[in-house]
């Protein structure tokens, strides 16, 4: 007798090829929309709990600076920006910490836009961008001082393989620095799993894990100095602001249909899911975790 398998919401559904295709299509089609709505930093903002009125762009820059400090990114380091988006973090790391940054992504359009933005910021000589699968890079062993992964882990279908690849390409003593969507725990009820699965589909991500699962995997793979922190309360305001931006757009049928004609029908589903991400935070299904770990040596 076959025992039914309960969906925990913490596994990849479908093939890796289908996921990669979805990620490429999502970001290639929406690269300009993301920048128009969210700005150049396509990630959560970080707010002091006593200063919730800080503008979102400043809060998003704050996330990069807070992660730089949390991870101990050294001045002048050689950095891999693993899942680089349109290059905003790479530009900041190059400009503010003197790092040399190589960014990789599955999206050709993100590479194009990141290259443009680096040139506009005057850091083209310290940044480069190309299309590459972050779980299977072509870098030699012991290449980077830092692997920087800002909201990329959730896209990876095999988290352990991703962490292992980063361990391989880090120099001895090099640091893995990660910020990622995480789940509350591994005991989600069916309605919570259903909510996560819809978010996975509409935001083109694989799945999330609890933060302690990442810490355990890092330790098992041989990283040392594993440190974690939960930043949920500092970043949750991202989705209240995002929902406030999207709601008026969804009430304008002419704007919606213009987007559908330009981007395809999936855009409607994507915009509708922005308030669902706020719901996931409000229900304590989704959280936001950061961790850093060191390659021995």
Whole-number pLDDT of residue 92: 98
**Tens-of-pLDDT digits for all 297 residues of the chain?**
454 568 999 999 999 999 999 999 989 988 988 888 788 998 999 999 988 889 999 999 999 999 999 999 999 999 999 999 999 999 999 999 999 999 999 999 999 999 999 999 999 999 999 999 999 999 999 999 999 999 999 999 999 999 999 999 999 999 999 999 999 999 999 999 999 999 999 999 999 999 999 999 999 999 999 999 999 999 999 988 777 777 666 677 777 777 777 777 777 777 878 889 999 999 999 999 999 999 999
Q: Indicate the fold that domain 16-188+207-234+287-295 takes in CATH.
A: Rossmann fold (3.40.50)
Pairing outcome for strands 224-230 and 286-294: antiparallel
DSSP secondary-structure letter at 72?
T
Distance CA 175, CA 260 (A): 42
Task: Name beta bridge partners: 122.
Answer: none
Distance CA 24, CA 131 (A): 10
Give me the residue spans of the domains in the chain: 16-188+207-234+287-295
Using a 10 angstrom Cβ sphere, with 0-12 exposed, 13-18 middle and 19 or more buried, the burial of residue 170 is: buried
Distance CA 199, CA 270 (A): 9
Nearest alpha carbon to residue 80 among 69, 70, 93: 93
Whole-number pLDDT of residue 246: 72
83 with 149: CB under 8 angstroms? yes
Nearest alpha carbon to residue 126 among 79, 193, 57: 79
Nearest alpha carbon to residue 71 among 215, 233, 229: 229
Which residues have CB under 8 Å from 154's CB, separation 6+? 180, 181, 205, 206, 207, 208
Which residues have CB under 8 Å from 45's CB, separation 6+? 54, 56, 57, 58, 59, 60, 62, 63, 235, 237, 238, 241
Whole-number pLDDT of residue 262: 72
The secondary structure of 87-141, three-state, reads CHHHHHHHHHHCCEEEEEECCHHHHHHHHHHHHHCCCHHHEEEEECCCCCCCCCC
Q: State the sign of the Cα–Cα–Cα–Cα dihedral 236, 242, 248, 252.
A: negative
Whole-number pLDDT of residue 157: 97
Whole-number pLDDT of residue 249: 67
């Amino acid at each position: 007798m076959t025992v039914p398998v309960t969906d925990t919401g913490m596994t990849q559904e479908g093939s890796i090829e289908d996921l990669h295709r979805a990620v490429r299509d999502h970001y290639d089609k929406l690269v300009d929309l993301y920048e128009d709505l969210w700005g150049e930093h396509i990630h959560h903002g970080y707010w002091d709990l006593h200063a919730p009125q800080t503008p979102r762009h400043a809060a998003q820059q704050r996330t990069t600076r807070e992660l730089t400090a949390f991870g101990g990114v050294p001045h002048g380091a050689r950095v891999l920006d693993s899942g680089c988006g349109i290059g905003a973090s790479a530009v900041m790391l190059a400009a503010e910490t003197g790092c040399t940054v190589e960014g990789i992504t599955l999206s050709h359009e993100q590479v194009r836009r990141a290259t443009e933005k680096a040139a506009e910021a005057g850091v083209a000589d310290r940044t480069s961008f190309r299309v590459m699968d972050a779980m299977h890079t072509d870098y030699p062993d012991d290449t980077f001082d830092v692997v920087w992964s800002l909201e990329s882990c959730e896209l990876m279908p095999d988290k352990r393989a991703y962490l292992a690849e980063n361990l391989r390409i880090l120099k001895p003593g090099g640091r893995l620095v990660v910020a990622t969507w995480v789940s509350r725990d591994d005991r989600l009820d069916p309605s919570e799993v259903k909510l996560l699965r819809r978010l996975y589909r509409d935001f083109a991500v694989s799945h999330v894990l609890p933060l302690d699962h990442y810490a355990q995997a890092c330790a098992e793979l041989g990283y040392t100095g594993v440190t974690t922190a939960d930043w949920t309360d500092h970043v949750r305001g991202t989705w209240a602001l995002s929902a406030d931006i999207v709601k008026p757009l969804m009430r304008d049928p002419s704007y919606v249909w213009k987007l559908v004609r330009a981007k395809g029908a999936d855009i409607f589903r994507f915009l509708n899911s922005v308030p669902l991400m706020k719901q996931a935070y409000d229900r304590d299904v989704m959280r936001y975790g950061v961790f850093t770990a060191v390659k021995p040596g």
